Chains A and B, each alone.
Chain A
Amino acid sequence: EDQVTQSPEALRLQEGESSSLNCSYTVSGLRGLFWYRQDPGKGPEFLFTLYSAGEEKEKERLKATLTKKESFLHITAPKPEDSATYLCAVRGDSNYQLIWGAGTKLIIKP
């Protein structure tokens, strides 16, 4: 069964304190791993797609990496505006629908 687990559930950091969020997955034939950001009261906003192990993508202070079992979202020198819930989803060969993790709530304190 395709499955996605995100950890930690919540993470509090001081401004400038770098860290990583984890997305562990089990999927038959990975077609893509997706990262989204969700602000309170809003819909998820697309950040990255990773397709194969070893791939990396960057956007501002965020960098996403992928292995055969997990993905990391690295946040370098975060700012308070990076506070949000970060969602991970995978798509496999069994069907083309996304399987979602429960998210990591990131709080950056000034």
Chain B
Amino acid sequence: IAGITQAPTSQILAAGRRMTLRCTQDMRHNAMYWYRQDLGLGLRLIHYSNTAGTTGKGEVPDGYSVSRANTDDFPLTLASAVPSQTSVYFCASSDSGGPTDTQYFGPGTRLTVL
């Protein structure tokens, strides 16, 4: 069982380019999340999905979009990347998105926007 996989591991991207970060989980979890992690700051939620077909905005959603066509996949798209989106991105999943859920994390994608 792999848990959560993310791709790519790292990427250098020119500003203005479009980029999709991929996330796949094999735990049959209903809820999935995208976070960004920046030095000195806590993890910040970008978008989430409590079940396939639904998505919601987190704390820092601007410039990002997500889709949840099925249970396993939750891609994050940067439509036109900007340098402030340079960060490490983590995908996570949990059983139901409920109040006592534990979130499990993928290995991350390190994105640099120049």
Contacts and interface: CB of A to CB of B under 8 A. Distances in A.
A108 B27 CA distance: 34
Interface residues of A, number: 25
Contacts of A103: 42
A59 interface: no
B42 A91 contact: no
B48 interface: yes
A50 B48 CA distance: 23
A86 interface: no
Q: Is the interface of B mostly helix, strand, loop or mixed?
A: loop
A89 B105 CA distance: 14
Contacts, number: 54
B42 A87 contact: yes
Interface residues of B, number: 24
A110 to B, nearest CB: 27
Contacts of B4: 43
Interface in B74-114: 90, 92, 97-108
B97 A96 contact: yes
Interface of A: 4, 31-32, 34, 36, 41-46, 49, 51, 87, 89, 91, 93, 96-103
17 contacts: A31-B99, A32-B100, A34-B102, A34-B103, A36-B105, A43-B105, A43-B106, A46-B104, A49-B100, A49-B102, A96-B98, A96-B99, A96-B101, A97-B45, A97-B48, A98-B103, A100-B42
Interface of B: 4, 40-45, 48, 58-59, 90, 92, 97-108
